[in-house]
Copies of this chain bind each other. A is one copy, B any other.
Amino acid sequence: MFNRLPKGLIEEIETLKIKHLFKKRQYIYKASEIPQGFYFIKKGFVGLVFACENGNDHFLRFFKGNQLLGHRSFLAEEIYHASALCLEDTEVFFIDKKNAGYLLKKYPDFSSMLLKNLAQELGKCEIHRVKFSEKEVIQRAAESIVYLFEFYPEYKWTRLEIAQYCESTPTTIVKVLSKLESMGYIKQMGHKILILNKDALLRL
C-alpha cells in the first residue's frame, strides 16, 4: 500500500542538508504561493488544509515522517491549492527545482513511484468524494475516526479536526460521538477518544 522511495534517494536528499524545522501550528507553505520545489518529511506531522471562501477549513490529506509533501502542486505546475500546517513539531528537507530534476533523472524508479502514488491518491479522492456525498454523517464520522486514529494514533484529534476531515461541524461530531459511545463502539475519556470496535464503525 505504501510505495517506498528508491533505495539511496533518501540518503541523497539528506546530504543536500537543506533542513528546515517547523514548530507545531506553523505553516510550511501557504495556499496560493508558488512551489519552488517539494519537501521530504524527516519527522513530524503535517495536515494539508484547504480554506473555503466562507472561512471553513477542510483537511485534504495528512503527512508524516518519510513522506513527500508539496509534490502535487510542484508537479502540476500550479500554485499551492492548500496550506501545509504542522500538527506537531516537524523536520523537513527541501528539494529545489534543480535538485528535483536531478533526482528524477538519476532515479527512474522515483518517477514511477510518484506516478503510482498520484494515481492512487486520485482514486482515493474520487471515491472519498462520491461516498461522502451519499453517506450520513454518522458513517462519514465513523470511517474518519478509524482512518485518523490509525494514521496517527498518538495525536489528540479534536472534534473540530474530525469535522474538518469529514465535511461536518464540531457540534454534530460531538453528537455523533456520544451516539457511537452509546452503541458501545467507542469510549470517550475526557477529551480522549478510544476506538472499541473498528469493524462495527466501518460497517455502519
B126 and A77 within 8 A (CB): no
Across the interface, A60 reaches (CB within 8 A) one of B56, B121, B126, namely: B126
A204: CB under 8 A from chain B?
Answer: no
Roughly how many angstroms separate A167 CA and B54 CA in the complex, as a whole number?
20
Interface string of A70-90 (1 = CB under 8 A from B): 011111111001100000000
- Cβ contact within 8 Å between B50 and A127: yes
Q: Report which residue of A50, A114, A122 has the largest number of chain B beta carbons within 10 angstroms of its beta carbon.
A: A122
- A123 and B56 contact, CB distance less than 8 A: no
Residue A133 at the chain B interface, CB threshold 8 Å:
yes
A17 within 8 A of B: no
B81 touches A119 (CB 8 A): no
Do the beta carbons of B50 and A120 come within 8 Å of each other?
no
Asked if residues A122 and B72 are in contact (CB atoms below 8 Å), the reply is yes
8 A Cβ contacts from A53-77 to B: 54, 56, 58, 60-61, 71-77
Q: Does A111 contact B (CB under 8 A)?
A: yes
Which residues of the other chain, B, contact A22 by a CB distance below 8 angstroms? none
| C-alpha spacing A128/B130, complex, angstroms | 11
**Is B76 in contact with A119, judged by CB distance below 8 angstroms?**
yes
Q: A115-B115, A131-B52 are in contact. Are A120 and B167 (CB under 8 A)?
A: no
Shortest Cβ distance from A86 into chain B, in angstroms? 20
The 5 closest A-B pairs by CB, nearest first: A76-B119, A75-B119, A129-B129, A118-B118, A133-B167
Pairs A–B under 8 Å by Cβ, sample size 22: A50-B126, A50-B127, A50-B130, A52-B130, A52-B134, A56-B134, A60-B130, A71-B119, A72-B122, A73-B119, A74-B119, A76-B122, A76-B123, A78-B120, A78-B123, A81-B123, A81-B126, A114-B115, A125-B125, A128-B129, A133-B133, A133-B167
**A positions within 8 Å CB-CB of B:** 50, 52, 54, 56, 58, 60-61, 71-78, 81-82, 111-112, 114-116, 118-123, 125-134, 167
* 9 new A-B contacts at CB < 8 Å, known A52-B130, A81-B127, A118-B122: A50-B126, A58-B133, A75-B115, A75-B116, A76-B119, A111-B111, A115-B115, A125-B125, A128-B129
